[in-house]
Every structure is written in structure tokens, then in C-alpha cells.
Chain A
Amino acid sequence: MISLLQIYEGRVFILLDTLEKLVDYMRKLGVDFCDARFEQRENLQILTTNGNIRAISRNVRSGVSIRAFLNGHWGYASSTELSWETLKSAAEKAVKIVKSTKGTEKIELNSVVVEKKYKPPIKINPQEISLEEKINLLLELDKAQRKADERVVNSNTRYSDSCINFTVVNSEGSKIEWGEIRIGVVAMPVAFEAGKMQSSYFVKSGTRGYELVKEIDPNVEGENVAKEAVELLSAEKPPGGYLTVIIDPDVAGLLAHEVMGHASEADEIVKKRSFLTGVVGKKVGSELVTMVDDGTIPGAYGTILFDSEGTPSSRTIIIENGVYKGYMHNLETAATMNVKPTGNGRAQDYNRRVWVRMTNTFFEKGDWDLEEMISETKEGLLAVKALSGMEDPVGGGFEARVLKGYIIENGEKRKLVRSFTLTGKALDILKTVDAVSKDFTLHGGNCGKGEEDFVPVSTGGPYMRAKILVGGG
């Protein structure tokens, strides 16, 4: 067995020249394009519940993904066994698979050639912080939830950090090594009274180091989120119907991501599956609507230095002042549509395929104050905190479940109402946007394409006022 690994600062890396050898070998087997990507993924997760540790787990995964492109089709193979013999046979498998699909189309992939090594841009490496310090923070955050109110029957917290090292080599000449570090803290209390149960959540996450965690005051955040869950016990049933709704940055992010974002992924355009196929240059929203996907925002959860194909991430304007501008691309869709790749070709990990995926997707801010937006709303609803959403690239339908809302009457925020669902056709909603706030926030999360293949992203925007169908309380 040839040793392909080197030990560097205590971690195992596969040698760059091994990947080069694999790519050379595949090229000789007769493919149009090929690449090899090594990933080492280290993840720490700590869970607490009701003041006790529920689980502490550390995972380390290493694998190589090998891709062969021939006549417009792809063959992939991956392995966690990293001997030269196994990787060579995986490369042969990838080529054999692609040859068996009998593609006929000639597509020339144009990758952005990069030869460089990058370290993740963080201040404090979370791996250098003791486990004890992380545990203590969580136990404080857990305790603060139950201390806040005796109706909190269950307190939960989660800490996670992930450090990923990538090496990508491709047949165009790219040789890149880079790291990605993500960190996140979550609190989720459950409150119970007189047969009613409600919960809420607090999340802080980003592509930052442990400095992000140091900004959290566990007592304040634990108490605030617990009070929010308790308050919801007495919340009323939300109204239903076609209403004027002010959506908060969290819910605006869902609208940007789920409907307009997924439908702007160019693989959906190439297949003509997206309702946004062929709309470049057309008006799709009011003039107050500008929407962007930007993988370069420092510290945001969806930020990446490169995508899984080794293309540098970038800023893509999707809608500008209501006019639709363009799509996000990977290598294949960019070649098919004769444009530059935008750095949106992402895979969940070395076991999964590359799709066109978002990074940080959001609406740009406007010039309203939230107070002004509320005071100028005669009757309506303020929708606060997103719970879930689902894409609909074919139909352009929007669905978002939100945690809570406030009824607005005569320009004043009044009664608290419990969870409800917002729905409607995205373009109908965007055309009715008549106020956009100065406040702007991004929230981290994991996005699936269809129902799987999760990648870290962030979504967000300002407060936005529009007409939306409300139901499901």
C-alpha cells in the first residue's frame, strides 16, 4: 500500500500530488473533464437538556470524490479508503459509469484556474478552546431558560463547530487547498401550561471562530428565548385570509431563498423547470425589491471561499429594483448558457453530487423604519421568526411557517398570535411590496435541494410589507 497521507498540525491530509496523479490517470482514460476533491470534515456537537449533558460527540470523516465528465454526462465515485489502489479503482469506476450512460453532447467546461492555499479567515480556532469552556457556556444557557419561568418544562441547547479542509485538483489545472470553519449555538425551551405546549428558539451561527460564541450572554439569551416560549402559551389564534403582512428579516429570507432563490439556480433553468426561465430583463417585483446571492460576505453562515468545483464564490444580483437580472451557476450550467461560473456548484459532502446551490441569499435593505411601517399600516399582521419553508421552482409558490405574529390595528402593534403559515405566488407577493426597512439581518441554516443534499446557507433581508395569504393557526 502506498502511503498517500501526510500529518500536518496533528491532522491528516491527502497529498495534493495524489489527486494530481488521479486526475492525470482519468484524463488518459479518455474524458472531457475530470476532478478529484479530498475533504476532511471534523465536527463537534454538544447537546444539553434540562441542565444535563445529553450527548457530546466528535466526528471525523475523510473521503475523496472523483468526477469524470464525458459527452455531457457525469460519472462520480467516492471512497473513504484512501489507498492508491482503492482511489485508482474509484477513478476507473467513475469513467466506466460515465461511459455507460452514452452521452452525445459536447460541452466544454471552463473552470476558473486557481493554484493557491488558503486558511479560514477566523480569529479564534474553536478547536483550541477547551471542551469544558464550551460545556459551561451551554449549561449556563440551559439553566437560564428554566430559571426564567417555572412553566419552562424542558430546556435544550446545542453547540456545534465544524472544520473542513478541502483539496481540489482538476484537469484544467486548478490546484487549491482551503479551509472552512463554522460555528453555531442554539437554545430551545419548551413551555407548558394547562394542556398547552409552545416552544421558541435562539440561534447564533456563522463562518467565524469562537469569537462568535464569546459575543453570546447565555443568561440574557436563555431568559429571552424562554420568555418568548412562555408568552406564546397565551397567544391567540391568528387571523386567516389575504392580508397586509409585514414580514421580518427571517421570513423575508425564506421568500428570497425558497422561491426566488431555488428557481434562480441555473440547473433548473437549463431544464426549463423553473418558473423564472427566460425572464431576464423582465419586471418581477416592485421597484423596492433587490435580491442578491453573495458567497463572499465575511462571517455569514453560507459564505464559502470556493465551491465544491474549486470556483471562487461571488456576488450575483438576481433582482435589481424589481427587474430580474440573472442566475447562479456551476461549471456545467455556465458552459451550457455560455456565461462565467458564479461559484455556486456545491455538494453536501464527498458522497454527494454537485448541484447549483445558494450561499447567502437576501433582499437588500430600503429606507423605512419598522415603526413607520407599522404606524402606516391600518390593518395587518407582523410575521416574526421563520420555522420552515419549501421551494417550488416549477409553480413559484411560497410557503413559510412562522413562529408568531402581532395583529396590527390602526397603525399599532397589538395582540400576539401563535404560529401560522404564509402562502401565495411569489411574484404576486413581490409586486405588492410597498415598504422595505433599513434594518437588515442574515440567519444561518441548512438548505436541501428537493428533500436532501444539505449545505450551509444564510438567508435574510429587511422587514418588508406586502399582501400575502395567511392561514393555518
Chain B
Amino acid sequence: MLEKLTKISIQAIRMASKQGADQVEVFTAYTRTRNIYVENSVPHLSTNNVSIGLGLKCAIGKHVGFAASTIFSDKDVEKVVDECISIAKVSPEDPNFEALPVPRKPSGTVENVYDEELVETEERELLKVVNQLVKTAESKVNVKVLNGLLRIGEFTFHVANSLGVDQSHKGTLVFLHFSAKASENGRVGEGVEKAYSTTLKNLDFEKIGNELQRKTLTTLRAESYKGKEEMPVIIVPVELQGLFESTVAFAISGEHVNKQRSPWKDKLNNEVASKTLTVIDDGRMPGGILSALIDDEGVPTATKKIIENGILKNFIYDTYNAYIADTESTGNGYRRLTRTVEEIFMRPVNCAVSNIAIKPGNKSLERMISEIDRGCLIEKFAAPFADPFTGTFGLEVRSATLIENGSLEKPIKHALLSGNFYEALKNILMIGREQELIENMKLPPIAFEKLELIGQ
């Protein structure tokens, strides 16, 4: 497949250069996605989707265009080139555009990003693990798995430009999202369990099924929260990820810093979080969803300290934004996403985090709970996002448990957790020991000193 993609790339660069492009970048990709959807406890719908395509960026001086297409024949390549050149010709000058990436040879290795065995795994094997998960979750009589998705993605991409970049990468991806409902005497509860991986091997389907059952039964027992109080709050990794993505990942992006809209634009080498917080952007995290030797512009990836002991150390840059900031790309130009590999060639490069790792603390979750007199452990928000500009949030709590004298007591739901995530980062009480991979972030649970919980 790489041979076919390389041939398309070379063809596109030649054609665009011939038509007057000063600089050309081409990203070609083959993707295959298999989905198994569970409905009402059984695999109900399965898919097999294949695509091949091309994303092309052309610059004539500082006039830049981007065009992309699925590729079926040589004619499609010609059409993309014509389209891209015609866009560049009418596009006003972009004074910020300097150049595409220059070739830099990646050194080192990247581990656990492609699983040959997964690519070869037949449908019946996939159905077997899905059924095992459902059976485990439904081992208690009132739990039913109503929705589930197991997605297997595989991709090969080639990225090249007229300055000499010529790189490729292949990877695999597993995304799993299951929800179950429990009913009893007119009460209902719903639990959700997700998993992210580059291989099936390290996923324990029985453990996932058990967790799904536990979460479902917890929400079944949950009561609507009444009252309004400030308390320490522990947020588990699966919900913490969205909060980090909407704030920290936004604030450290070179694009937002350049646009003057990052709240941390003037905070380099200043304190932005508690001393216990260290955050790393690691383009080569073993088994990381976006890990590769190169980013999606063909620039070598690296491991960068973002926040070290609470101090903001670095921003991240793709090539375009690095030129604006008069620095070098940090290997953070991405088109790929974390839950699907479908048609990754359609998107232009975006300045984004690679894989984020939050340095774990030394306390288990049980120990963290035991050190809180009165507080709350949050396991599910409706949607865990804060305002990227201000950090404010008001999140509907779908599943949580109140902590009394160091023990988990009453499960609650129908409450609002409110606060400011940029401020909360400065008031971290404890960081847990066990990390989980959620999307492209490896995070432990974190306890924040004081957040407001409001009930009806």
C-alpha cells in the first residue's frame, strides 16, 4: 500500500510544481475501519470501511491553497492538483506563511503503535470478545448492555513535500464505547465505559465488563443531590481528559498563543498550576494513540515538558505557527484524530498536542479517598468541558459518590459541579498513582481542593 501512496504523492508534487506551485506538500493515506455495534445485548450491526485519498497544500509565493479528495483514478489526482492551484492563485497573500517543513531525519524508535495481529483478526474473533464483555457486564440480573461499539482502525500514510520531506507511518487503533442500563422499582441508572488502545492484546474485556456493571449499579443507587457546598473533589481520568483537552491543550497551542487568545500567552516560565503538576507532551509515548516518529507534516516528534512542577515551560508548534513565533516546529502538526482513522487525508494540519502524560503521584485512589473528610468522587459528567478562554465550567454530574470521613458513602446524580479549571489547577490537593490512557492522554485521578457542588 505504501508503494501506491508514494506513487500518488510523487505524481501530485510533480504536477503541482509544473503548474507553478513554489512549494507543495502532499499527504496520502489508506484507511480501513471495522465497527461492531452492540444493541440490546447482541452485536447488531457490523461494518467494514475502506478509503484511499490525498490532501494537498500548494503555495505560490505566499498565496496558499488546500484541496483533498478520495482517490479512485489518476483523474482524481489531477483534479485535486488543479483545484489546489486555482485556490492558491486567488487566495490573498498570507503574510504569516513562510515555508513548509524542511527535511529533518527522525532518530530513535516508537513502540507499540502497530499491531499486525489486530489487522489480521477476523470478525468472528472480534464478535467473541464483544460477547465476553457483554456477558460479564450482564452477570447481574438487572444490568442490560443497550449500546456498544468496538472500532478497529488501521492506516498507512505517506507525507512528502517539495523541500525534500519524505516520511511514512502505519498504525492501528482500538476504540471501545459501551453503555449499560439497570432498572429496579422504577429507578434507572446508566454506566458508560470507554477504552483506547493501539492493540487488542492489552485490553481486558472481562475487567471492562465488570467496571461497566459497577458503574451502572452505582448510578442505579444514586440519589439526586440536594444543597450547595464547596468541597474537595476527585475527578477520575476518563472525565479529567476532557477538562485538560478543553483548557491546557488549548492554552499551550502555539496557534492560540500567536492569535493572542491563549489565557497563558504571557505565562511562559510562570506558575500556572500547583507544584505537584508536571505535564509532558510526548509524540512517542509507547502505545500512544497519536505516537509516531514523525507528525503529520513529516517533522520528527519529540518529548517536551509542558508544565514542570507547576511552571509553564513550553508551548507546542506546527511549522506554520513556529515560523510566526520565530521558533522551530515541535512536531505538533496533526491531522489524525483519537477515535477514528477514517479519511485522515481530508483535514489540513492543525497545531495540536500529540500525547499528553500527567506525572502520577504516589497515592492509590483508595488512599486519596481515605484522606478526605467530606468530598466527592466524580465518575461521570454529561460532557466534561470547560471554557477554553476563561476556564469556567458548570458540569452536570451524572454519577458521583459523596465521601464522608474517608469512605465512599452516598452515590449522587443530578447536580452541577462548578468552578474554574485554570484556577483549580493551582489548587490541586492530591494526584493519584494509577494512570489510564484516555484518547491521547495518560492521566491519573486528581483531587482538587475546593469546587462547588449545587443540587436542586
Q: Which residues of A contact B (CB under 8 A)?
A: 49-50, 52-63, 72-83, 90, 93-94, 96-98, 100-101, 103, 130-132, 135, 139, 153-154, 190, 192, 196-199, 240-242, 267, 270-273, 275, 350-351, 353, 388, 390, 392, 394-395, 397, 399, 401, 418-421, 423-425, 450-452, 469, 471-473
Q: Are A198 and B389 neighbours in the complex by a CB distance under 8 Å?
A: yes
Q: Which residue of A lies closest to B419 (CB)?
A: A472
Neighbouring B residues of A53 by C-beta, 8 Å: 64, 91-92, 94
Which listed residue, A76, A240, A399, touches B454 by the CB 8 Å rule?
A240
Neighbouring A residues of B45 by C-beta, 8 Å: 73-76, 353
In the bound complex, what is the Cα–Cα distance between A270 and B64 (angstroms)?
Answer: 51
Q: Which residue of A lies closest to B83 (CB)?
A: A58
Which listed residue, B48, B260, B393, touches A153 by the CB 8 Å rule?
B260
Q: Are B91 and A199 neighbours in the complex by a CB distance under 8 Å?
A: no
Q: Are A395 and B398 neighbours in the complex by a CB distance under 8 Å?
A: yes
Q: Which residue of B lies closest to A229 (CB)?
A: B389
Neighbouring A residues of B72 by C-beta, 8 Å: 62, 80-83
Which listed residue, B35, B127, B259, touches A154 by the CB 8 Å rule?
B259
Q: Are B43 and A101 neighbours in the complex by a CB distance under 8 Å?
A: yes
Q: Are A49 and B259 neighbours in the complex by a CB distance under 8 Å?
A: yes
Given contacts A82-B72, A154-B260, A471-B418, contact A58 B190 (CB under 8 A): no
- Restricting to B422-456, which residues have a CB under 8 Å from any CB of A? 452, 454-456
Q: Which residues of B contact A (CB under 8 A)?
A: 33, 35, 37, 39-40, 42-53, 64-72, 79-80, 83-84, 86-87, 90-92, 94-96, 123-124, 127, 146-147, 177, 179, 181, 188-190, 228, 259-261, 263, 339-340, 342-343, 346, 348, 382-383, 385, 387, 389-390, 392-396, 398, 413-414, 416-418, 452, 454-456
- How far in angstroms is the closest Cβ of chain B from A40? 9
Which listed residue, A75, A78, A267, A273, touches B50 by the CB 8 Å rule?
A78
By Cβ-Cβ distance, the 6 closest A-B pairs, closest first, are: A472-B394, A421-B394, A399-B396, A80-B70, A471-B416, A472-B418
Q: Are A78 and B47 neighbours in the complex by a CB distance under 8 Å?
A: yes
Neighbouring A residues of B417 by C-beta, 8 Å: 472
Of the A-B pairs whose beta carbons lie under 8 Å apart in the complex, a sample of 29, sorted by A's number, is A49-B259, A52-B95, A53-B91, A55-B66, A59-B346, A72-B44, A73-B43, A75-B47, A78-B50, A79-B51, A80-B52, A90-B48, A100-B124, A131-B91, A153-B260, A199-B261, A242-B456, A271-B40, A272-B146, A351-B342, A395-B190, A397-B382, A397-B398, A421-B395, A421-B418, A423-B414, A425-B414, A452-B340, A472-B418
In the bound complex, what is the Cα–Cα distance between A79 and B456 (angstroms)?
Answer: 50
Please classify the interface of chain A as helix (H, G, I), strand (E, B), loop, or mixed, using the class held by over half of its residues: strand
Which listed residue, B71, B86, B343, B398, touches A351 by the CB 8 Å rule?
B343
- How far in angstroms is the closest Cβ of chain A from B416? 4
Which listed residue, A56, A192, A353, A423, touches B416 by the CB 8 Å rule?
A423
- How far in angstroms is the closest Cβ of chain A from B43? 5
Neighbouring B residues of A272 by C-beta, 8 Å: 146, 181
Q: Are A56 and B66 neighbours in the complex by a CB distance under 8 Å?
A: yes
Neighbouring B residues of A103 by C-beta, 8 Å: 42, 44
In the bound complex, what is the Cα–Cα distance between A275 and B146 (angstroms)?
Answer: 13
Neighbouring A residues of B147 by C-beta, 8 Å: 271, 273, 450
In the bound complex, what is the Cα–Cα distance between A273 and B143 (angstroms)?
Answer: 12
In the bound complex, what is the Cα–Cα distance between A96 and B46 (angstroms)?
Answer: 10
Q: Are A353 and B96 neighbours in the complex by a CB distance under 8 Å?
A: no
Neighbouring A residues of B33 by C-beta, 8 Å: 351
Which listed residue, A54, A270, A418, A423, touches B396 by the CB 8 Å rule?
A423
